[in-house]
Amino acid sequence: MSEPFDVLAALIRVDRTPNLAAAVRSLASAGVPVFPCELDGKRPLTRRGFLDASSEPAQVATWWSRTPDANIGIPTGAASGVVVVDVDVHGPTDGRAAWHRASDAGLVDGAGLLVRTPTGGTHAYFPATPGVAQRSWQAANAGVDFRGDGGYIIAPPSRRTIDGTVRRYEIADVATHSVGPVDANRLRDFLDPRPVAPSRSRGNAATVDAEKLAAWVADRSEGERNRSLFWAACRLAESGTTPADVLDALGPAAAQAGLSEREITTTVRSAYRATAPEAAPAARAPSAARWCARSAPSPTASVGRAGL
């Protein structure tokens, strides 16, 4: 893992450098793993994306000789030593209020750099926590994403054209306080709290508010729908609810969120495999529909294709 403070210092040095090829050579020479992304965009130009990231000077020179104005991608998490809280501002999404709430709660005090994005959002850079997996996640309703292991970020001085104007990723603020890690799980629970489901009672299952879980699932956005349905299905499975009743309770809500009937059934089945091994024989039926076979119609049938 790169030293996080070396990465932050390297980003400060290249900020506002007009030549992207020169900037990326400077980052690589400081040991920062980089990879090229499309001109004026975010999509990786290498076959495996952030998994191809390298600080090897010859490899970096080859990439940018092919596309001198390619934007600069940096993998987040253990690969680079930094993680990023991405505060989105685009269209109807504005994560600034959520960021301010998290700041007031003392959850993001350790940021080392704040980078202004071309759309007016913010990338807050933190040192990764050594030896701790910090997976990327989205809190789409809050307008905040976390870029950790399995993610990447577009770094300064990359640029994009917004409404006909070229705008750069540029450093807006450098920490003058103590820099430290961010508790990503605590931040996610603060920004996107999950419904509280009681623990299982010994001898008899606790009662779980299926309606509250369904309302929460229905409100999920793309990028968090499957994970949320899985979590809610696990809570119902742990309470002793049958697979058929879970589909009745959560199926319409998941369809409203945009999942297909197949995705819903597969996710619920996975939840039972993870939390209720006794349901496994039913899960081995030859088709998803027969796994939860019952006389009632599919929970997504009533919403029609328009709800998918």
Please list, in sequence order, all residues whose beta carbon lies within 8 angstroms of the beta carbon of residue 104, skipping any fewer than 6 positions away: none
Q: pTM to 2 decimals?
A: 0.69
* Cα 48 to Cα 237: distance, rounded to the nearest angstrom: 37
Q: What separation, in Å, do the N-terminal and C-terminal C-alpha atoms of the chain show?
A: 42
CB contact at 8 A, 285 and 248:
no
> Which two three-digit tokens encode residue 156?
């300064």
Whether the ω angle into residue 181 lies within 30 degrees of 0, i.e. cis, is: no
The SS3 of residue 184 is helix
Rounded CA separation 193/189 (Å)? 5
Label residue 90 by pLDDT band (50, 70, 90): confident
For residue 138, what pLDDT band results from cuts at 50, 70 and 90?
confident
The whole-chain average pLDDT of the chain stands at 83
Q: For tokens 């349905």, name the residue.
A: 229
Q: How remote is the C-alpha of 302 from its chain's centroid?
A: 31
Query: Of the candidates 27, 88, 12, 97, which has an alpha carbon nearest to the alpha carbon of residue 61?
Result: 27
3-55 per-position pLDDT tens digit: 889 999 999 999 989 999 999 999 999 999 999 999 999 999 999 999 999 99
Is the pLDDT reported for residue 105 higher than 80?
A: yes
Cα of 166 vs its chain's centroid, Å: 27
Beta carbons of 195 and 249 less than 8 angstroms apart: no
39 CB contacts (<8 Å, ≥6 apart)?
67, 69, 70, 71
Residue with tokens 């994970």: 227
Q: Where are the alpha helices (DSSP H) in the chain?
A: 4-14, 20-29, 57-66, 96-104, 184-191, 210-218, 225-238, 243-257, 261-275, 280-283, 288-291
- Contact present, 224 and 259 (Cβ < 8 Å): no
Write down all domains in the chain, each with its CATH number in brackets: 4-190 (3.30.2250), 194-307 (no CATH)
Percent of the chain with pLDDT over 90: 52
- 296 — alpha (psi -120 to 50), left (phi > 0) or beta? beta
CA neighbor of 153 nearest in space, from 5, 252, 8: 8
State residue 256's pLDDT score.
83
Place of tokens 């319409």: 252
- Closest Cα to residue 15, out of 180, 153, 155, 179? 155
